[in-house]
Amino acid sequence: MNNVIICTSPVYEFKGWLFEYKPHLGAWPLKKDGEPRAIAGMKFWAVFEEFFNLPEVEQRRYRISGGCLYG
């Protein structure tokens, strides 16, 4: 039997921004269709800093998808 693990970056929605974030990889904003944005401007980084400063338990409340599936 083969075990399969599929992992994707967790996706969060915070203050109108959709973004991927993993502590060891960093963050990147996404378009509404889930595709990465071409650039991450100052507005995004200001909102992300606010998100980043939240306790981890609070950050989890904004997670809408992503993570690992085991099968």
Confirm whether 21 is domain-assigned.
no
Is a pLDDT exceeding 90 seen at residue 67?
no
SS3 (DSSP) at 45: helix
Confirm whether 31 is domain-assigned.
no
pLDDT, averaged across the chain:
93
Confirm whether 47 is domain-assigned.
yes
In Å, what is the CA distance from 28 to each residue of 1, 36, 60, 63? 36, 7, 17, 14
d(CA 16, CA 18): 7
| Structural domain span for residue 45 | 1-7+37-71
Confirm whether 13 is domain-assigned.
no
User: Total structural domains in the chain?
Assistant: 1
What per-residue confidence (pLDDT) applies to 31?
97
Confirm whether 19 is domain-assigned.
no
The pTM of this model reads 0.86
